[in-house]
Each structure stands twice: as structure tokens, then as C-alpha cells.
Amino acid sequence: MRIRIGQGYDIHRLVEGRKLRLGGYTLPEQTRGLLGHSDADVLLHALIDALLGALALGDIGQWFSDRDPQWKDADSALLLKTVLEAPQLQAWKLLNLDATIIAQEPRLQAHIPAIRQSLADLLRCDCTQVSVKAKTNEGLDAVGTGQAIAVQVVLLVGH
Ligand code: MG
């Protein structure tokens, strides 16, 4: 079996009046969400970069320009679907992914099962292949003061 590893990172600013989307899941009852050209789903963006990185296919900005009106307020699940359906990915299967969401607020622990399930649904894999961890930044920097949420993703693909 051939195996490739990929890693992705993203960060988006938290602002009033936006939906908070993480891994294709909309967190209920949030007054603040992430700012971006698309729906700013920071977890899906890091995941897309990890997938593209695993196969040395560039990065999300090259695939989906933030100046392209087509992607204005786009559902990032559609971006992921576009990547998953690309010819270059057809031979490969996701083996596992491990994501870390770094957010001072909101508290994410209660939402982790729903986020994992959403990712598994989008990736058409089993929940056991999808790890999502959440941590704060101990009050330090822009993430730690609640101004942004960052995500790191590592994954393996194989065939
Ligand atoms: Mg992004």
C-alpha cells in the first residue's frame, strides 16, 4: 500500500453576526461566527489543505480564490466535495485524520460528537477514522483572547 501524509492549518477571525461553522456543522445558539469570503469553516479549510498537501496538489487558495465571487459565502462542504471529486484524488482513500481546534470560546467539548459525525458524513468514512480534539490557548494571543479560532489537521491517505 502507498501512503501519503498531509497537514493543514487555518485561522479565521471571530466576529458578531455570523454563523459558527466547524467541520460542516453549524453550532447552535452562537452570536459570533467566523469571518471569511466563504462560510469561513476553519476546520474544513485546514482539512482541504491537508488533503491537497498529502498529494502535493497546492493549497486551498489556488483551488478556490477568495477573489472569485463564485465562492462568496460558499458552503465549505462544497469546496471539500469539489476536491474529493477531483480526478487526482480518485485512487486514494482517507485512512484517518486527526484535527485540533484551538478556541478560547465557545467551549466545544459538547459539540465534538456532532462535528466528528459531520466530517465522517462529508468524507464518507467511519467516525472511528476521524479524531477531533479541542483546546484553548490558555488566554494567550488572538486565539486565546477569543478573537479567532485556529485549526490544525493531520491525515493519512492510502491506496
Ligand atoms: Mg480559511
Q: pLDDT tens digits for 129-144?
A: 999 999 999 999 999 9
Residues near 15 by Cβ (< 8 Å), separated by ≥ 6?
32, 33, 34, 35
Cell numbers for 83:
476536491
What's the fold here for domain 3-158? 60s Ribosomal Protein L30; Chain: A; (3.30.1330)
**How far does the centroid of ligand 1 lie from the alpha carbon of residue 124, in Å?**
22
**How far does the centroid of ligand 1 lie from the alpha carbon of residue 1, in Å?**
32
pTM across the whole model:
0.96
Phi, psi (deg, nearest 5) at residue 71: -105, 10
Tell me: the pLDDT tens digits for 29-79? 999 999 998 899 999 999 999 999 999 999 999 999 888 888 888 899 999
- Domain residue ranges in the chain: 3-158
**How far does the centroid of ligand 1 lie from the alpha carbon of residue 29, in Å?**
22
CA dihedral 103, 9, 22, 129 (to 10 degrees): -110
